[in-house]
Amino acid sequence: MIMDEDFIKNPDVPGPTKEELRCLMICKSNVSDKDIVVDIGCGTGGLTVEFAKKAKYVYAIDINNKAIETTIQNIKKHDVNENVEVLEGDGLDVLDELTNFDLLIIGGSGGKLPLLIKKGYNKLNNNGRIIITAILLETRVEAVSTFKELSVIPDVVDISISKGQISERGTMMFAKNPVAIISAKKEN
């Protein structure tokens, strides 16, 4: 895993997704070098870069122009230009242009999560996987209820991590904000 501090940051763009979370998303996604990945809400490119190292190809999408710029910087820095394409736009529109993908990451939705899940899940290749990160309580619930509508029971994991800062006095634990991962596999 790339360390958090090895990503270029941008004060106007959320991210990068913390190391431990990137790690869990790699696992939950079961990504392989045969997979084509779509990362909606690529932010700083934290997940884009990490998945690009494991997958065949990644489409990185963001509606925010500054996120697109930062993602491009991180793609260069981490040397994954060759198998990433960066697309500016609303994920809901960009999805229309994409076909044939195995893994859909939704890291940002701007209030359109149900539509993104439905459209994305439908377009996903068979045995494809969809994986959503949620920092808002509402996102967790929206994801679950949209999957219910699709008759899919997703896996829901809420992760709270604290990291030790070691000094002479001892080991002080600093908490990271909780994040949920909601994921599902498309069975055909």
Ligand X SMILES: Nc1ncnc2c1ncn2[C@@H]1O[C@H](CSCC[C@H](N)C(=O)O)[C@@H](O)[C@H]1O
Q: Which residues bind ligand X (CB under 6 A)?
A: 13-17, 40-47, 61-64, 67, 90-92, 107-110, 112
CB 178 to ligand X: min, Å: 16
What is the SS3 assignment for 14? coil
* Residue 173 sits in the site that holds its own copies (CB under 8 A): yes
CB 187 to ligand X: min, Å: 26
Asked if residues 48 and 57 have their Cβ atoms less than 8 Å apart, the reply is no
* Residue 30 sits in the site that holds its own copies (CB under 8 A): yes
Picked from ligand X, its own copies, none, the partner binding residue 154 (CB below 5 to 8 A depending on kind) is its own copies
Query: Could you tell me which residues are beta bridge partners of residue 134?
Result: 180
Please work out, in degrees rounded to the nearest 5, the angle formed at the alpha carbon of residue 125 by the alpha carbons of 39 and 62: 15
Annotated binding site: 17, 41-45, 62, 91
Residue with Cβ nearer its own copies (33 or 141): 141
Cα separation of 183 and 26, whole Å?
12
* Residue 92 sits in the site that holds its own copies (CB under 8 A): no
Picked from its own copies, ligand X, none, the partner binding residue 33 (CB below 5 to 8 A depending on kind) is none
Give burial (CB, 10 Å; 0-12/13-18/19+) of 22.
Answer: buried
CB 12 to its own copies: min, Å: 16
Cα separation of 178 and 158, whole Å?
7
Give the distance, in angstroms, between the CA of residue 186 and the centroid of all CA atoms in the same chain: 17
Residues in contact with its own copies by CB under 8 A are 1, 19-20, 22-24, 26-28, 30, 111, 135-141, 144-145, 148, 153-164, 166, 169-178
